[in-house]
Structure 1
Amino acid sequence: MIIGTVVNASGLPHARLLANSVKRQMPSAKVLVCLVEEKPVESLPDVDWIFTAREISAYLGLYDFDSYIFKFNSLQCGTAMKGRLLTYLLEAFPGEEHIVYLDPEMYVFTPLNEIGHMLSYYDVALTPHHLEPSDAWDSSREIGTLQDGTFHSGLVAVKNSDEGRHFAKWWMKIIAGDFSGLPGGIFTDQPYLNFVPAFFNAGVLRHPGYSLAFWNLHENGRKVFRSWDEYCLTNHTPLRCANFSNFLGLLDSRIDACVPHDGAFRQLWSDYKHNLEWLYLQHPPLSWSYDYFYSGEKIADETKLRYREARVYRSFQGNPFTLSNHSDF
């Protein structure tokens, strides 16, 4: 099994924690980091390979990298490269049967056994954001999930088969967004996964121990407990992996709302933050390479939106990083 993830330089501490957790629980698994920066970095502990997003794109024969990455901001570097990374891993490692994409904020607590089992029957495995419906009087979570996507794009597993490669290429193409009517929001790769069970031989992994995160901490089946030296969920279900994304402080707020003061998940989050702080001393946050024109001018969000629209209508050709915020597209 190969585990792949995507980060910019500021996300390297997350990637190192992910890689360490994978190696401790699944020593035979390989970890590859796609770095969305112009300059490469030196090797990292527990990481088997590090390639830049440009190198991965070139391997796939996609030499449009500058015009492609310009459309995305630093928060979307993972969104931009998930499809390309999966396609690359399936092609570059033909002898590897199972490929798994994990967000860098993921942390593995026990071996991901169910993924391998599911990929013996299906070519794609997805995890839903929610496994329990909301109360009858409140459908706000369902409505929000319809907008953001039913399945979590932070964990996507693919078999190295014709069907698996077909899925990865489809997702790679549709994420590019060179068409009108794009989904709103920041993480625009995710809503497209709604189609995957209809388009491909895909299975839905309903194990509550996968993708525990701020959006499902309220569910009755996902209460975290300490059992001897391991963490488990309701009914002694093993905790496989958690997503420690604290986007906009949402994890902190959901912990305060859903987790008792002596709850086990608070300890998990505290330990994770402590380790992350130590790694930030080694990898302090940096400016993103692709947030600036070659002139050094910061690229405005409005400029990226104008350029994305120009790409839809093919009204601009060339390298956008040579321009400025005042350029016409």
Structure 2
Amino acid sequence: MIIGTVVNASGLPQARLMANSVKRQMPYAKVVVCLVEEFQAESLPDIDWIVTAREICEYIGFPYFDHYIFKFNSLQSGAAMKAQLLTYLLQAFPDEEHMVYLDPQMYVFKPFYEIEQMLSYYDVALTPHHLEPSASWDCSREIGTLQDGTFHSGLVAVKNSWEGHRFAKWWMSMITGDFAGQPKGLYTDQPYLNFVPAVFNSGVLRHPGYNLAFWNLHENGRKLYWAGDEYCLTNYVSLHCVNFSNFLGLLDSCIDAYVPHDGAFRQLWADYKQYLEWLHLQHPEAPWSYDYFYSGEKIADETKLRYREAKLHRQVEENPFCLSNSSEF
């Protein structure tokens, strides 16, 4: 099994924590990091290979990398490269049977036996954001999920098969296409996964121990506690992985709303933050390579939006990083 993730330099602490958790639970697994930076990173503990996004795109024959990455900000860069990374893993490691994309904020507590079993029947395995419907008087979560995507793109597993390759290439073509009506926001990759159960040989992993995160802490089947020597969920279901994304402080607010003051998840989150803080000392915050023109001028968000809009209507031939914020597209 190969576990892949996408980060920029500022996300390396999360990637290292994720990789360490993978190696502890699945020492046989290999970890590959796609680094969305112009420079290469030094080798890091528990990470087997670090490959730049440009190198990945060159390997799989994905053209016009500069034109593509220019459209995104640093937060969006992870979503922008997930499908390219999966395509790369399937091509570069033909002897490996299973590929799993994991967000860098994921932390693994148990081996992925259920995923391996599912991939013996299916070519793609997806994990839903929710396993329980909301109360009839409150459908806000369902509305938000319709916009962001039913399935979580932070954990997508693919078999190294003809159908697995077909899925990865399709997902890449949908994410990278320049057409009107594309999903907006950070999760431009995710809504397309809604179509996967209909058009690919795919399965839905409904195990509550996968993808415990701020968006499902309220579910009755995902109450976390410590049992003996492991973390368990409701009805002694094993916890396999947690997504510690705290985007806009949503994890903190959901913990305050749904986790008791002595709840196990609070301690789990505190321990994770402590480890992460220590790693941040080794990897201080750094500017993102693709936030600047070659001249050194910072690229304005409005310029990225103008460029993305221009690409919908015509081919922009010149490398956008050679231009400036005052350039017309």
TM-score w.r.t. length of structure 2: 0.99
Query: Take 1:79 and 1:137, find their aligned partners in 2: how far apart are those partners?
Result: 33
Query: Take 1:141 and 1:211, find their aligned partners in 2: how far apart are those partners?
Result: 16
Give the counterpart letter for 1:266 in structure 2.
Answer: R
Tell me the percent identity: 77
Query: Take 1:59 and 1:45, find their aligned partners in 2: how far apart are those partners?
Result: 25
**Which residue number in structure 2 is paired with residue 193 of structure 1?**
193
Query: Take 1:62 and 1:141, find their aligned partners in 2: how far apart are those partners?
Result: 36
Query: Take 2:172 and 2:16, find their aligned partners in 1: how far apart are those partners?
Result: 25
Give deviations 1:28-66, integer Å, cap 9, x for gaps: 000000000000010000000000000000001123111
Query: Take 1:288 and 1:184, find their aligned partners in 2: how far apart are those partners?
Result: 21
Superposition CA RMSD, Å: 0.7
Deviation at 1:314, TM superposition (A): 2.2
Give deviations 1:191-239, integer Å, cap 9, x for gaps: 0000000110110000000000000000000000101121010000000
Query: Take 1:52 and 1:316, find their aligned partners in 2: how far apart are those partners?
Result: 24
Query: Take 1:245 and 1:229, find their aligned partners in 2: how far apart are those partners?
Result: 25
**Which residue number in structure 2 is paired with residue 292 of structure 1?**
292
Query: Take 1:129 and 1:184, find their aligned partners in 2: how far apart are those partners?
Result: 19
**Which residue number in structure 2 is paired with residue 103 of structure 1?**
103
Query: Take 1:232 and 1:317, find their aligned partners in 2: how far apart are those partners?
Result: 54
Deviation at 1:315, TM superposition (A): 3.9
Q: Secondary structure at the match of 2:76?
A: helix
Give deviations 1:118-144, integer Å, cap 9, x for gaps: 000100000000000001111111111
Query: Take 2:177 and 2:304, find their aligned partners in 1: how far apart are those partners?
Result: 13
Query: Take 2:312 and 2:200, find their aligned partners in 1: how far apart are those partners?
Result: 27
Give the counterpart letter for 1:29 in structure 2.
Answer: A
Uncovered stretches (5+) of structure 2, i.e. residues with no partner: none
Q: Secondary structure at the match of 1:40?
A: coil
Query: Take 1:217 and 1:111, find their aligned partners in 2: how far apart are those partners?
Result: 22
Tell me whether 1:63 sits opposite 2:69 in the alignment: no
**Which residue number in structure 2 is paired with residue 271 of structure 1?**
271
Choose 32-41 or 292-301, whichever is displaced more: 292-301
**Which residue number in structure 1 is paired with residue 40 of structure 2?**
40
Tell me whether 1:137 sits opposite 2:137 in the alignment: yes
**Which residue number in structure 1 is paired with residue 10 of structure 2?**
10
Query: Take 1:151 and 1:26, find their aligned partners in 2: how far apart are those partners?
Result: 24
Deviation at 1:86, TM superposition (A): 0.2
Q: How many residues align?
A: 329
Query: Take 1:253 and 1:289, find their aligned partners in 2: how far apart are those partners?
Result: 32
Query: Take 2:264 and 2:196, find their aligned partners in 1: how far apart are those partners?
Result: 34
Deviation at 1:286, TM superposition (A): 0.4
**Which residue number in structure 2 is paired with residue 21 of structure 1?**
21
Q: How does 1:198-237 map to 2 (within 5 A)?
A: 198-237=198-237
**Which residue number in structure 1 is paired with residue 238 of structure 2?**
238
Give deviations 1:74-94, integer Å, cap 9, x for gaps: 001111100000000000001
Q: How does 1:84-163 map to 2 (within 5 A)?
A: 84-163=84-163
Query: Take 1:177 and 1:140, find their aligned partners in 2: how far apart are those partners?
Result: 30
Uncovered stretches (5+) of structure 1, i.e. residues with no partner: none
TM-score w.r.t. length of structure 1: 0.99
Runs of 4 or more, structure 1, over 2 Å off, are none
Query: Take 2:267 and 2:248, find their aligned partners in 1: how far apart are those partners?
Result: 20
Query: Take 2:323 and 2:184, find their aligned partners in 1: how far apart are those partners?
Result: 26
Query: Take 1:175 and 1:318, find their aligned partners in 2: how far apart are those partners?
Result: 22
**Which residue number in structure 2 is paired with residue 54 of structure 1?**
54
Deviation at 1:177, TM superposition (A): 3.4
